[in-house]
Structure 1
Amino acid sequence: MTNMSNNIYPRVHLTKSSGFTLIELVIVVVILGFLAATAIPKFLDLTEQAKQANIEGMAGGFATGVSLARAQWEAEARPNDGGTPRRNFVNYDGITVYLTVEDVPNNVRPGYILGTTPVSAIASVNCIEVWNAILQQPPTTSTNDLDVNSSVDYFVSKDGSNLCHYYLKASLARSTVDSTLYLDPSSSTTVGNSFTYEPANSSVIVYVNN
Structure 2
Amino acid sequence: MAQHNNGFSLFEMVLVVILLAVVMSVAVPQFMNVKEQAHSANIDAVAGGFASAVGFVRGQWELEARPKGSAASRFVTYINYGGVVVGVDGETGTPTSDETEQKDTRALAMSSARCQQVLNVILQDAPSNTLSSTVSEVKDVRFLVRYDADALQCIYYLSHSLDAENIPKNGKQLIDTKGFSYFPKIGKVQIFKS
Q: What range is the shorter-chain TM-score in?
A: 0.7 to 0.9
Conservation of the 8 A alpha-carbon contact between 1:128 and 1:156? yes
Match of 2:156 in 1: 166
Structure 2 residue 23 is the aligned partner of structure 1 residue 23: no
- For normalisation by structure 2, the TM-score amounts to 0.86
**Structure 1: distance between partners of 2:137 and 2:63:** 44
Give yes or no for the alignment of 1:111 onto 2:93.
yes
* Counterparts in 2 of 1:174 and 1:205: CA distance versus 1, 3 Å: same
**Structure exhibiting the larger radius of gyration computed from Cα positions:** 1
Tell me which of 54, 64, 80 is aligned to 1:76.
Answer: 64
- Matched with 1:151 is 140
- Contact 2:69/2:90 (8 A) holds in 1: no
Aligned to 1:6: none
Letter paired with 2:191: V
- For 1:14-53, list aligned pairs within 5 A: 16-53=4-41
Q: Aligned residues, how many? A: 183
Deviation at 1:150, TM superposition (A): 4.7
In structure 2, what is the Cα distance between the partners aligned to 1:77 and 1:194?
34
Q: 1:143 to 1:31 in 2, by over 3 A?
A: same
Q: What is the letter of the counterpart of residue 28 of structure 1?
A: V
Whole-angstrom CA distance in 2 between matches of 1:75 and 1:91: 11
Distance of 1:14 and 1:46 partners within structure 2: 53
Displacement of 1:149: 8.0
The alpha-carbon distance between structure 1 residues 196 and 32, as it changes in their structure 2 partners (threshold 3 A), is same
Q: Select which of 182, 189, 193 maps to 1:204.
A: 189
Among residues 151, 156, 173, which one is paired with 1:188 in the alignment? Answer: 173
Q: Which moved more, 1:76-85 or 1:132-141?
A: 76-85
Could you tell me how far apart the structure 2 residues matched to 1:27 and 1:15 are?
27
Q: Mapping of 1:52-67 within 5 angstroms?
A: 52-67=40-55
Determine helix, strand or coil for the equivalent of 1:147. Answer: helix
Cα distance in 2 for residues equivalent to 1:174 and 1:146? 6
The answer as to whether partners of 1:78 and 1:88 remain within 8 angstroms in 2 is: no
One-letter identity of the residue aligned with 2:158 = L
Identity %: 33
RMSD, matched Cα = 2.0
Query: Which deviates further from its counterpart, 56-65 or 87-96?
Result: 87-96
Q: Which residue does the alignment assign to 1:128?
A: 116
Which shifted more, 60-69 or 139-148?
139-148
1:93 aligns with 2:101: no
